[in-house]
Structure 1
């Protein structure tokens, strides 16, 4: 078992998602995850405090990218345009490996109440990051929260569409997320 092999964090996430899907979250141990990933148990704990944290492995990075994109939006951008900028920045950081993980992750989450709770907390974290970035742009609080929640919904719908698409025709995540964002904005406008 290689001790310092690169990519251990990513291999741990993939191994965990596969094991959660194959045998269930509760039945999967940290030792099994480490063995499947080809690392030691101590390497697992260098990357994650426990197996619950595997689901939100990229949450900090995702939240940071969303906030950076919002902050970098033109000064005259509306709150929704700023959120679109954040979504685009986050989407650009995701590649084929993220797309391939989607269906496996969805199956693992669907099979575990605990993972469903962690997934919900991930959505809350994304919304909080976008809301804070919008508030820093002097967007009124209610509009900031609403725009951020719309952004979370668009990201989740776009990611699901992208992950389920035929690999040869999937395109990039931003295309799917932008389409979901446009659909949600139109739906919101029709509510008045």
Structure 2
């Protein structure tokens, strides 16, 4: 077995996603994932603490990128503009080459309530973090929470569009359009 070959995490992640799509998340074991790429179950657990982390690995980095981007936005802007600029700088987390993997990941999440719940909790945590960063900047309540939650709603809608079959625009472009659409909705 080639358990010491480089790229084990990536190979396991790709294999897991394909097996989840083919057999279902609940019906796929860590041993089957590892075996499909010529690795042992023990090696799987060296890379991932459990099956969920195949789909949610990177969540800590995602949150940090989204939340800490608020710190790099210049002072003096309206709260929603701060969030828009912060999220725009975080779109680098979604390069075009990740789109197909993200589409498949979303297919797996969307048919598994437990995984979808975790995804929604992750997004709520990001919104809470953004709200906290806004308050650190002196944005009072309820403006900080409204801006953070509105920004995450824009992100989720933009992400859904980015995942659509045939969609070719960048996440940054779509997100910018969605913030403009929100402005039109609220009359800004």
Answer whether TM exceeds 0.5 for this pair: yes
Quote the Cα distance in structure 2 between the aligned partners of 1:10 and 1:124.
Answer: 27
1:56 aligned to 2:56? yes
Shift of 1:95: 1.4
Query: TM-score normalised to the size of structure 2?
Result: 0.87
Deviations 1:120-154 (CA, angstroms, capped at 9, x unpaired): 11211221221222122121132221111112111
Query: TM-score normalised to the size of structure 1?
Result: 0.86
- How many residues matched? 188
The 5 A counterparts of 1:124-135 are 124-135=124-135
Shift of 1:100: 1.0
Higher-Rg structure is: 2
Structure 1 residue runs of 5 or longer lacking an equivalent are none
CA RMSD of aligned residues (A): 2.1
Q: Rate the CA distance shift 1:133–1:22 in 2: closer, same or farther, 3 A.
A: same
Q: Rate the CA distance shift 1:14–1:130 in 2: closer, same or farther, 3 A.
A: farther
Q: Rate the CA distance shift 1:56–1:189 in 2: closer, same or farther, 3 A.
A: farther
* Comparing 118-127 and 43-52, the one that deviates more: 43-52
Quote the Cα distance in structure 2 between the aligned partners of 1:57 and 1:84.
Answer: 25
The equivalent residue for 2:120 is 120
The equivalent residue for 1:71 is 71
